[in-house]
Amino acid sequence: MAVDILLGLQWGDEGKGKIIDFLAPQYDLIARFQGGPNAGHTLVINGEKTVLHTVPSGILQERPINIIGNGVVIDPITLQKEVEFLKSKGVDVGTRLLISKKAHLILPTHKILDAASEAAKGKEKIGSTLRGISPTYMDKTGRNGLRVGDILSSNFQDAYRQIREKHLRLLRLYDFEFSLPQEEQKWMEAIQYLRSLSLINSEYYINDALLQGKRLLAEGAQGTMLDIDFGTYPYVTSSTTIASGACSGLGIAPQKIREVIGIAKAYCTRVGGGPFPTELLDETGEQIRKKGNEFGSTTGRPRRCGWLDLPALRYACMLNGVTQIALTKSDVLNDFEYIDVCTEYNLAGNPSREIPYDICTANIQPVYTRLCGWKNDLRQFSTYDDLPETFLGYLRFIEDYLKIPVSMVSTGPEREKLLLKN
Ligand code: GDP
Ligand code: IMO
Ligand code: MG
């Protein structure tokens, strides 16, 4: 009985994929619990970069079985591409990838509805990845969705047509042009492909494995500040990205959870719209974007960049019950003379360490503590204790604020660039 959870503590893209790939040999099962192909999790192995959108990030290690859980929404077209790519790399997808029959399907019309809704919002748009995430979760909670298991039923075509009709009626509310036939044909072919993969009752599979003493790592997508309940609503995604989402997204009881590993960058980034108190709209922000290659793994959009926001990180640690932190991308700040860290907000004259309810409209001024830069190439160090003292001071500053250990430090995108604290 051992379940650990690994998830993002900021606005996504913290480097979850890299850390999962590194930790995967310690586990029997890696299971994605929410989100869909809005995610892009990057692994860099022997100089080769792989971006996974739906398949869990343990797939390129030999040991673990990878499960796409019931909380995930699946676009069969994206999944087919990913699986074909993995097969071409020699991965035995047939036995190493299992898919929950209760995961919901993203339909071609979900993607069109996503685009139509965003277009109608104009300047207020969320900045969605346009992968159909929100309309699919709306149909799930509205009890209209199609699930993976439904593709095995003889009624599938009828059920599909019924939802498609409903979506077409909804689309008439928007002044939005679209073309369906080509995408629909690809989707139907991908459904046929999906039928050939291993579709299971994952809640039973997982709980049986846990009873046998197997170890599971639950893989989060997006990040805590994009959570449907606790993120910067409405500028969020449509799923539960926090630790509790692993229970509902996999069918695991809460008392089975052991470690909650929170991933954070040494600074902050955000893609799409919405509040970002420490955002840097100046030369420094541009420098972080360039050095950190901060462009979306899924959409290629430039990521907004800013300093580390400790009140937001503390909030994320509280919501998730984080037991240890993996800090990524500190190497991006190698050349900086100084590093600012937000320790408090000034809310219209009042100091606060809490995320205000009205974060989207409040006048928030971040209050910074200025720390000395380490001016050292972190990539050259191979043990945690050998890291430069100025950098260790930076880590201690974060640990003291959060009262949580930084147990891992990532110093580059490559699998082996990870230092563990003793
Ligand atoms: P995820 O969505 O949380 O898995 O993160 P992404 O893969 O979308 O974005 C993280 C990006 O940073 C990817 O391009 C990674 O290869 C890269 N990356 C991860 N860790 C590090 C690190 O410690 N240093 C640097 N420079 N890049 C990193
Ligand atoms: P990973 O797992 C960063 C953002 C989008 C948008 C908002 C809503 O790679 O960290 P959606 O398509 O979900 O309706 O978009 O959420 N977003 C992400 N940002 N990383 C992600 O995933 C994201 N998934 C969604 O940019 O602002
Ligand atoms: Mg990503």
Q: What is the pLDDT of residues 193-233, one digit of tens each?
A: 999 999 999 999 999 999 999 999 999 999 999 999 999 99
Q: Which atom of ligand 1 is nearest to the CA of 39?
A: 2
Quickly state the pLDDT bin for 300 (edges 50, 70, 90): confident
What is the 284 CA–ligand 1 centroid distance (Å)?
Answer: 19
Measured between alpha carbons, how far is 295 from 309 in angstroms, rounded to an integer? 20
Token duo for residue 246: 């692993």
Q: Can 13 be counted among the known catalytic residues?
A: yes
Quickly state the pLDDT bin for 298 (edges 50, 70, 90): confident
Q: Are 95 and 58 in contact (CB under 8 A)?
A: no
Query: Any idea which ligand is nearest the CA of 11?
Result: 2
Pocket of ligand 2 contains residue 40 by CB under 6 Å: yes
Quickly state the pLDDT bin for 76 (edges 50, 70, 90): very high
pLDDT for 17 equals: 98
Pocket of ligand 1 contains residue 15 by CB under 6 Å: yes
The residue to which tokens 């690809």 are assigned: 186
Nearest to 35 by CA among 94, 122, 103: 103
Q: What is the pLDDT of residues 338-385, one digit of tens each?
A: 999 999 999 999 999 999 999 999 999 999 999 999 999 999 999 999
Q: Which atom of ligand 1 is nearest to the CA of 18?
A: 19
pLDDT for 1 equals: 59
Q: Are 324 and 407 in contact (CB under 8 A)?
A: yes
What is the 44 CA–ligand 3 centroid distance (Å)?
Answer: 13
Secondary structure E strands in 244-337:
257-265, 268-270, 304-306, 308-309, 324-328
Nearest to 420 by CA among 385, 390, 379, 376: 385
Averaged pLDDT, 148-166: 98
Closest CA to ligand 2's atom 19: 12
| Identified catalytic residue from 4, 21, 28, 41 | 41
Measured between alpha carbons, how far is 392 from 405 in angstroms, rounded to an integer? 12
What is the 15 CA–ligand 2 centroid distance (Å)?
Answer: 14
pTM recorded for the entire structure: 0.98
Pocket of ligand 1 contains residue 303 by CB under 6 Å: no
pLDDT at residue 97 greater than cutoff 90: yes
What is the 147 CA–ligand 2 centroid distance (Å)?
Answer: 22
Question: In the Cβ-directed half-sphere of 173, how many Cα atoms lie within 13 Å?
Answer: 9
Q: Are 303 and 271 in contact (CB under 8 A)?
A: yes
Q: Can 377 be counted among the known catalytic residues?
A: no
For a mutational test of ligand 1's pocket, the pick from 329, 335, 378, 419, i.e. the residue with the most ligand atoms closer than 8 A to its C-beta, is: 329
Q: What is the pLDDT of residues 125-137, one digit of tens each?
A: 999 999 999 999 9
Pocket of ligand 1 contains residue 40 by CB under 6 Å: yes
What is the 38 CA–ligand 2 centroid distance (Å)?
Answer: 6
Pocket of ligand 1 contains residue 237 by CB under 6 Å: no
